[in-house]
Structure 1
């Protein structure tokens, strides 16, 4: 209700602030005028209380209005100021002479102030009230009280001067207000013109934007389906001019489903106000089908309720989505194949499944999965569909780098295999971490795109992982088998080590006493056959214990450089067949000459030859047959090792071979898996340690053994022993003359029977003997005996100070004294090689008396030649 304010004007707030400022000045001016009039206007002092009764409420009202103004309550403050001034002035006029009173002359000023504060309506109300009051004062002038003090010229002069000043100020404020209003109005008009210009520019830009939008747009009136506007993209989309599409019903749009689906679209718009994602088909310029997607929204235009429709060609997007779905299906296919690769341990089944699924996924004509061995020789492992029948050229793969990325188009040498099949092809390497496993070859009627090549590469990677996993599983099983075998060896070794020493000590005593008895008794004595049988049984028991230790890998080694052919030839006399088998089994030798040397323990190699030939003869049985013993040399590559599947595994290199073949009954696969197990035998009276010992000896010499057998056709055992670089010494014939020894020997053994046996053997050969049951006694004899001791025989398992500790003590006192170490199981004392040198040697128990004498003779000869 403020003066000169337009409710719709944006300058309303500014006018309100101007009104508040004007009211503030009016209040201060009114206060100053009232206080100045009260103080300066002449009056009888006795009438001062009456004046204060009138002035005090006015001052209070003005102060209250000022407080309301501080509270931003402009309308209430204005009403309080105008009403208090009007009432005070009319009341003062009523008691001061009515219309002739100076107070009544101030009412026009109140009217002007009302107009400034309340506008026209307030001005007319106050003016009419003031006129009505003046009329009343005129009609009832004789009834009004006379002024207590006649108004003098001075009072009128002061009053009118005050009124004129007040009027001048109010008019000045009124003019300032009008000027500000005009200025604000002009500013508002300028702003409106600017806004209108911007609006027109925006409308033009909007029109241009609408027409140049990259997607097609239509404005369709809902009630009559009339197209009010269409942009350039829409006209181009439908291949129509502006006249052919604008102001035309939407059903005139041909070559699309939009006109058919418009009723449903309009109905959905009326219900929802906006829709999106609606797809419709149309026909392209080349008559190919296309797809578009629209969005629409209702708007109110001067022409009526309309729909703004925007749509664009989504044919490439739809095809792209279909392509993405196809690629996703391929990835899922790869994932499925990977899961099958992880779950399936049968590579043949996996390869067949991979070939079929890959060919069907990529719509291939054919596919081949080619495996490459370590020499890059190709072999087709799986094939599907229309694939060439010609053999794969190996030269393509022989020089293929391990990191070869594959072929997007087959090389000429592989493309020639296609011949007249008119197919395109691609190849992806199946590559592991260490080598190339194979190649995936794909054949199609059309060139394969990038995604197909990527899919083939993924399949090849999955197959590579599957092959590596299969190889790792095979390696794990091989290691588990070796660990199981090692555990068997350890268990058997512990068992053998626990009994070998005592058992060999017993055998030493038996064999020693038997040998002495055979020498003491006449050759025609009736006990000779019995003693010979005892000696033979003892040697057989010693052989069994030796085989047990050989299988367990715990026999003491005495390595030498040997020519295998010479060793087998030297054993010819031993390998004579029994008389009852001579006409049924034929031994055939095929021994290679100039073989490289092998560093082995000759006695254990002889045991291998004997065991293999014995098994071959027994495999022939009662039938006639042939056993062939052959030697040779071969160089094994990694491919050979993989193909031969040797047991145990060995490193590539040069090997000397011993092959024993027979024409016996052969073995099935289950029997072949168990022939090296200890105590397993196919013979009714077999003890099952022969082949177990052979395998233990071969393993101990870091060699390998291969078995080939077919039921009914015989068996072939091939032993591979690593070739040495040293020359082979010639084998000398064993001496048969009696051995004569001189000097004094100290025998250290905790077994009295063994000490007695050795004493009798040595004394019979010509030596003087001393005996000690432990190490301390032996050291005392060495230092205190008056006799000069020439050699010491020490058992390794003596109590207290063992044999090796005694040897160290002897070496501190007598470093050049010959010492012969003896034990039934040396590795029971130490796992390290024994300290064999010029002054120290070793003889395993049990032994024959001649073996003992020969070892002592050689040791004494070495120590005397210095």
Structure 2
């Protein structure tokens, strides 16, 4: 429609409302005109039906048009109003006299209304149609029906009055509309000028923002692919000048991948209008390769269809992604190393795999993996690649604390070794929870970055976990071995103690009766040599029992403070060496002169020296060699003890050492694991108790043994005995003169043969005896006998009430009764609660009659005189 033909105009809505109001007014005015003309116009009453036939459709059309206006359907309402008016007026003119009819005179108003409501084209069409109808009226004037009545001046006045009012109204509305249009046009022009000014300002700001934008941006004309503008960030981004970018085609950017990718970008822009996330590489002036990501959008510009391209430097992100890939590879390498560490218990193989993995992951020149043993000694376990040959500063490495964090670059002490090679690197500690296991040193042609040092530190941590696990496994295995050995020794000790007890009871009878027979026979009697032989054989059997008990750690103990060097030196003149081999062996003594004392049983330590020396000479054999006896003193820390791996374990402290070394055949590892087993011997006629007894003696003295041997080069046995804190007094010398006794002796022993032997020995010495086969019987005799008891001889191992329980019961009745305890198993004295007073003493089985009478005599004298035992 003419009045709102521009729907995009800013005044479209107000004009639309204006036309709607105009239509309403016109429709009401036309309704009013029709009603007035119909009611006021002179007409024959016979023509009223004919007029109603014309008026009613016209009113109906007006009402429908009014309904369409309310529904905002203005164009349909305009067509209905104009069309119905023109048709009704034309028909009315035809029926009322043609061109002279008042209805025909109203057609110009319809033309004006059509121009206003429907536009110029329809105004011309309605005007031409009206002229054509008027021409027909003129051409066929004779055939046109005459008017049914004569138009009076009053009818013409009414008709033209209505026409003038309607025309005036239209002119008034048109003038108002014209003035309002002028005002709105003027307002729109002012607003357009302001908008254009703002656009110019915005364009200037946009140009400044474009040039100052932090992102690199270019504007490319699409039809010829020429860069028409580039901001400062873009010039700085690519490192080029304005002349090298602006007014240059995309193909001129030969230093980037953008020309090769631009056809695809342009095609996507034409299809979708925008493109995002396209990545390309380029080179800066320093020949470094960088990466950028672009986003582009099509815009209409005075220069034509263009693309605004924004670019962002993604080189750090690209590098970060590459680092992430490298870190993922490093993590995979660490996982592989961790699996290898868990599966591999061979340190050399593990370190070799670690060095190869590090070398394949990082650009290194060489790798050194150093291990620190508990003593602080440094061992270069693994070498990979090009490493310095200059010696290590051992003192520097030993001084490293257990919690040392390591170095990201080589410290001076290590850097000096590669000064001539021009290498850099890092040194990372292999650190466990409690100590420093070693050092991982990496050499590189250039300084290592943070990620490489972090990877090396992670590898060092994996190695630390592996080493800690291996050492813990070794320690656990060692503890298990020691526990098994202790259990084995305990079992064998119980067996040896039981055998020795029963065997010593038998030997007691043999040796007692033999000594009695020797006393009864004349010295030149023919049975004298046989009895002496029996006594010597029994004595050797007693020594064998003593070895069994010594191995089991259950032998008799008579401690004294001795100087180990003095003891070994005194034995030098009385050692009985094998005659057929001693001539081929040279014995060397390297004895310390300032040794502290050791509290030991001297006879058993002599047995240890003799057994070790005998084994050394046997190991040398006929080929000749030397044996060295060496003494010394050491202070062992917990670290020393872990390194020495002594058997059995001993606490840290000060120890006196005895070392017996030989140049014999040596031992392999299998033999070394069994040398302390009882009844194991490499000698054709050996009984296998020598070293077993040595171990038992050393263990009972709270010491330890260290064995070192190499097949073909000899062996070395080192005994560690605790140094004494104070001297121990030496007991008095035994009495050797014949002994005569008086009084009554109570014998309590479950072995009949032992009781018989004791009875005969004591009766021969002048005493009266009474016997009991168990502890309760002995206690009954003691409490109910009317004969005063002078001394009680009690066996410790008796069924029911044992010797110690009997001793407690005796002390409750007789506090000062002398009691001599006896046992074939001396452990009962070592581990029992034997009182130490002047009325109690102990005598091990077997014994000679003289030893027995000597102990009894001393106890009776001590009890009588009140002299405490020595």
Whether the TM-score (by the shorter chain) exceeds 0.5 is yes
Relative to 1, partners in 2 of residues 1:164 and 1:824: Cα closer, same or farther, differing over 3 Å? Answer: farther
CA distance in 2, matches of 1:781, 1:21: 150
**Are the aligned partners of 1:547 and 1:693 in contact in 2 as well (CA < 8 Å)?**
yes
Question: Could you say which residue in structure 2 is the equivalent of 1:48?
Answer: none
Q: Secondary structure at the match of 1:518?
A: helix
Correspondence 1:64-143 to 2 at 5 A:
none
- Report if aligned partners of 1:746, 1:772 keep a CA contact under 8 Å in 2: no
Structure 1, unaligned runs of 5 or more: 36-52, 93-102, 147-152
Partner of 1:42: none
Question: Is residue 2:480 matched to residue 1:483?
Answer: yes
Q: What residue in structure 2 maps to residue 837 of structure 1?
A: 835
How many Å separate the matches in 2 of 1:592 and 1:561? 17
**Do 2:374 and 2:639's aligned partners in 1 also have CA atoms closer than 8 Å?**
yes
Tell me whether 1:206 sits opposite 2:202 in the alignment.
no
Task: Name the counterpart of 1:656.
Answer: 656
Question: Is contact 2:633-2:656 (8 Å) kept?
Answer: yes
Q: Deviations over 1:736-781 (max 9, x none)?
A: 3456666655555555555555555555553644425254x55545
Question: How many angstroms apart in 2 are the aligned matches of 1:165 and 1:743?
Answer: 177
**Conservation of the 8 A alpha-carbon contact between 1:367 and 1:440:** yes
Q: Offset of 1:89 from its aligned partner?
A: 14
Q: Assess, with a 3 A threshold, how the Cα gap between structure 1 residues 416 and 501 changes in structure 2: closer, same or farther.
A: closer
1:173-209 deviation digits (Å, cap 9, x = unpaired):
9999999988877776666555544443343333334
- Between the aligned partners of 1:306 and 1:204, the Cα distance in structure 2 is 18
2:612 is aligned to: 612
Tell me what 1:278 maps to.
Answer: 280
Q: How does 1:248-327 map to 2 (within 5 A)?
A: 253=252, 257=254, 264-273=260-269, 274=275, 276-281=278-283, 284=285, 288-291=286-289, 295=294, 297=296, 299=298, 303=303
For 2:508, the equivalent position in structure 1 comes to: 512
Other structure's SS at 1:657 match: strand
**Alpha-carbon distance, 1:656 to partner:** 0.8
8 A contact 1:226–1:248 mirrored in 2: yes
1:82/1:113 contact within 8 Å kept: yes
CA contact (8 A) 1:659 1:719 kept: yes
Aligned to 1:494: 491
Q: C-alpha distance in 2, partners of 1:813/1:3?
A: 146
The equivalences for 1:717-756 within 5 A come to 717-730=717-730, 733-738=733-738, 746-756=746-756
Instruction: Provide the C-alpha distance between the structure 1 equivalents of 2:700 and 2:17, rounded to a whole number of angstroms.
Output: 114
Query: In the alignment, which residue of structure 1 is the partner of 2:545?
Result: 542
Alignment gaps of 5+ in structure 2: 36-52, 93-102, 136-140, 270-274
Q: How far did residue 723 of structure 1 move?
A: 1.0
Report the CA distance shift for 1:661/1:23 in structure 2 as closer, same or farther (over 3 A).
same
Aligned-residue offset at 1:682: 0.6
Q: Deviations over 1:798-837 (max 9, x none)?
A: 23x566666666666667766666666687x99x942233
Moved more, 2-11 or 702-711: 2-11
The C-alpha deviation readout for 1:12-63, integer Å capped at 9, x for no partner, is 556667888999999999999999xxxxxxxxxxxxxxxxx99999999999
Alpha-carbon distance, 1:317 to partner = 8.4
State how far apart, in whole Å, the 2-side matches of 1:852 and 1:842 are: 11
Shift of 1:654: 1.9
Separation in structure 2 between the aligned mates of residue 428 and residue 270 of structure 1, nearest angstrom: 55
Deviation at 1:518, TM superposition (A): 1.0
Output the CA distance in 2 between the equivalents of 1:377 and 1:680.
36
Distance 1:616 1:484 in 2: 26
Contact 2:548/2:689 (8 A) holds in 1 = no
User: What is the rounded CA distance, in whole Å, between the counterparts of 1:169 and 1:749 in structure 2?
Assistant: 158
Counterpart for residue 847 of structure 2? 848
Q: Superposed, which structure 2 residues align to 1:318-717 within 5 Å?
A: 343-348=343-348, 380-383=380-383, 389-397=389-397, 399-402=399-402, 403=404, 405-406=406-407, 408=409, 410-411=411-412, 421=420, 423=422, 428=427, 430-433=429-432, 434-439=434-439, 448-451=446-449, 455=452, 458-459=455-456, 462-463=459-460, 466=463, 469-470=466-467, 472-494=469-491, 496-497=493-494, 499-500=495-496, 502-522=498-518, 524=525, 525=527, 528-529=531-532, 531-532=534-535, 535-536=538-539, 538-543=541-546, 545-550=548-553, 561-568=561-568, 575-577=575-577, 591-602=591-602, 604-621=604-621, 627-636=627-636, 641=641, 644-717=644-717
**Offset of residue 631 of structure 1:** 3.2
**Worse overlay, 177-186 or 25-34:** 25-34
| SS across alignment from 2:599 | strand
Aligned-pair CA distance for 1:108: 13
Give the whole-Å Cα distance in 1 for the aligned partners of 2:728 and 2:170.
142
Is 1:505–1:845's contact at 8 Å kept on the other side of the alignment?
no
SS at match of 2:667: coil
Corresponding residue number in structure 1 for 2:774: 773
Distance 1:169 1:826 in 2: 149
Which segment is superposed worse, 661-670 or 226-235? 226-235
Shift of 1:695: 2.6
- 1:99 alignment counterpart: none
Alpha-carbon distance in 1 for matches of 2:573, 2:343: 59
- 1:585-630: CA deviation from partner (whole Å, max 9, x where unpaired): 6666555445322234555434433432332343344566655544
Question: Deviation of residue 510 (structure 1)?
Answer: 0.9
Kindly state the Cα deviation for residue 473 of structure 1 after the two structures are TM-superposed: 1.8
Q: TM-score, normalised by structure 1?
A: 0.71
Q: Secondary structure at the match of 2:515?
A: helix
Deviations 1:425-460 (A, max 9, x none): 55625352444455556666x6x4351x87467546
Number of residue pairs aligned between Structure 1 and Structure 2: 841
Q: 2 CA distance for matches of 1:184 and 1:816?
A: 144
Following TM superposition, by how much is the alpha carbon of 1:490 offset from its aligned partner in structure 2, in angstroms? 1.3
Summarize deviations over 1:491-535 as a string: whole Å, max 9, x none: 4523542x4565344223311211221122135426515632652
1:487 CA displacement:
1.8
1 CA distance for matches of 2:655 and 2:647? 14
Distance 1:164 1:818 in 2: 168
Alignment partners' CA distance in 2, 1:787 and 1:2: 161
In 2, Cα distance between equivalents of 1:761 and 1:58: 170
Specify the SS of the correspondent of 2:698.
helix
Q: Which residue of 2 aligns with 1:98?
A: none
Distance 1:503 1:805 in 2: 23
Describe the shift of the 1:515–1:3 C-alpha distance in structure 2 as closer, same or farther (beyond 3 A). same
Residues 502 and 348 (structure 1), Cα distance of their counterparts in 2 relative to 1, 3 Å cut: closer
Is the Cα–Cα contact under 8 Å of residues 4 and 16 in structure 2 kept in the other structure?
no
Say which SS state the counterpart of residue 289 (structure 1) adopts.
Answer: coil
For the residue of structure 2 that corresponds to 1:847, the secondary structure is coil
What TM-score results when the alignment is normalised by the length of structure 2?
Answer: 0.71
Q: CA deviation at 1:845?
A: 6.4
- In structure 2, the residue corresponding to 1:707 is in which secondary structure? strand
Q: Secondary structure at the match of 1:694?
A: helix
Deviation digits for residues 365-395 of structure 1, max 9, x if unmatched? 6665555566656565555666555544455
Q: 1:675 to 1:510 in 2, by over 3 A?
A: same
In structure 2, relative to structure 1, the CA distance for the partners of 1:114 and 1:414 (3 Å cut) is closer
What CA distance in whole angstroms lies between the structure 1 residues aligned with 2:862 and 2:59?
148
Change (3 A) 1:130 1:400: same
Residues 838 and 281 of structure 1, relative CA distance in 2, 3 Å threshold: closer
Deviations 1:286-329 (A, max 9, x none): xx535465647574655555555666888898888888888887
Question: How many angstroms apart in 1 are the aligned matches of 2:368 and 2:669?
Answer: 32
Residue pair 1:296, 1:307 contacting (<8 A) in 2 also: no
Are 1:560 and 1:600, in contact at CA under 8 Å, matched by a contact in 2?
yes
